[in-house]
A and B are shown apart, each in its own frame.
Chain A
Amino acid sequence: MIPTLVVLAYLALVLYIGVFRGGGRSSNAEDYFLAGRSLGPTVFLLSLFGTNMTAFSILGASGHAFANGIVTYGLMASSSALVIPVTLLVIGTRLWALGKRHGFMTPVQLFRDRWECGHIGTVIFAVQAVLLVPYIIIAVIGGGTTLRTVSDGLVPFWLGGAIVALVIMGYVFFGGMRGTATVNAFQTILFLLFGAIAVSVVSAGMGGFQAAMENMLASPSAPLLTRERVSPWYFFSYTFIPLSTIAFPHIAIFCMTAQRLSHFKKTIVLYPICMLAIWLPSVFLGVAANQATGVPAIQTKLEARATLAAEGPALSADEQAQLRRQAAGDDVILRLVDGYAPLWLAALLGAAVMAAVMASDSQILALSTMFTEDVFAFYGGRRRFGEAVQVRTGRAFVIVLTLLAYVIALQVPQSIFDIATQYAFAGYASLAPLLVAALFWKGSTKWGALAATLWTAAAVAFVAVVQTTIPAPPPGTELLVWSPSGTPVITRAAAGMMVAGFLPVVPMTVVSALVMIVVSALTPVARPGPATLAKYFAQ
Chain B
Amino acid sequence: MRPLAAAALVTLLYALHQDVWFWREARPLVFGVLPVGLFYHAAYTVVTAVTLWALVGLIWPHHLDEPSARPDTE
Interface residues of chain A, those whose CB is within 8 Å of chain B, are 70-71, 73-74, 77-79, 81-82, 85-86, 89, 93-94, 96-97, 100-103, 209-210, 213-214, 217, 222, 225-228, 232, 235-236, 239, 260-262, 265, 268-273, 275-276, 280, 283-284, 287, 538
Contact = CB atoms under 8 A, between A and B. Distances in A.
Contact of B35 (A77, A226, A265): A226
7 contacts: A70-B35, A82-B48, A89-B52, A100-B70, A102-B70, A227-B23, A239-B14
A330 B33 CA distance: 23
A78 B48 contact: yes
A102 B72 contact: yes
Interface string B35-74: 1011001101110110011011001110111011011111
Given A78-B45, A85-B52, A269-B49, A217 B37 contact: no
Contact of B65 (A103, A213, A261): A261
Given A103-B72, A227-B24, 16 more contacts: A70-B38, A73-B41, A81-B45, A81-B49, A82-B48, A209-B33, A213-B32, A214-B29, A222-B26, A226-B35, A239-B14, A261-B65, A265-B56, A269-B52, A271-B49, A276-B45
A236 B14 CA distance: 10
Interface on chain A toward B: helix, strand, loop, or mixed SS?
Answer: helix
A273 B35 CA distance: 20
Contacts of B59: 89
B23 A101 contact: no
The 9 A-B pairs at the shortest CB distance, nearest first, are namely A225-B26, A97-B64, A101-B67, A225-B35, A70-B38, A272-B49, A78-B41, A209-B33, A210-B32
B24 A228 contact: yes
B40 to A, nearest CB: 8
Contacts of B10: 82, 86
Contacts of A270: 49
A93 B19 CA distance: 31
A101 B67 CA distance: 6
A73 B37 CA distance: 10
Interface residues of B, number: 44
Contacts of A284: 33-34, 38
Nearest to B72: A102
A222 B29 CA distance: 13
A110 B74 CA distance: 15
A94 B17 contact: no
Contacts of A82: 10, 13-14, 17, 48
A280 B42 contact: yes
A265 B45 CA distance: 17
A73 B73 contact: no
B8 to A, nearest CB: 13
A268 B28 CA distance: 32
A235 B18 contact: yes
B46 A272 contact: yes
A232 B18 contact: yes
Nearest to B68: A101
Contacts of A235: 18
A213 B35 contact: yes
B35 to A, nearest CB: 4
Contacts of A73: 38, 41-42
Most chain A Cβ neighbours within 10 Å, of B38, B46, B56: B38
Contact of B49 (A79, A210, A273): A273
B49 to A, nearest CB: 4
Nearest to B23: A227
Contacts of A262: 65
B59 to A, nearest CB: 7
A70 B49 CA distance: 21
Nearest to A86: B10
A226 B24 contact: yes
A101 B70 contact: yes
Given A101-B67, A103-B72, A273 B14 contact: no
Given A103-B72, A210-B33, A239-B14, A226 B48 contact: no
A79 B17 contact: yes
B56 A94 contact: no
A37 to B, nearest CB: 11
A93 B67 CA distance: 12
Contacts of B61: 93-94, 97, 261
Contacts of B56: 89, 265, 268-269
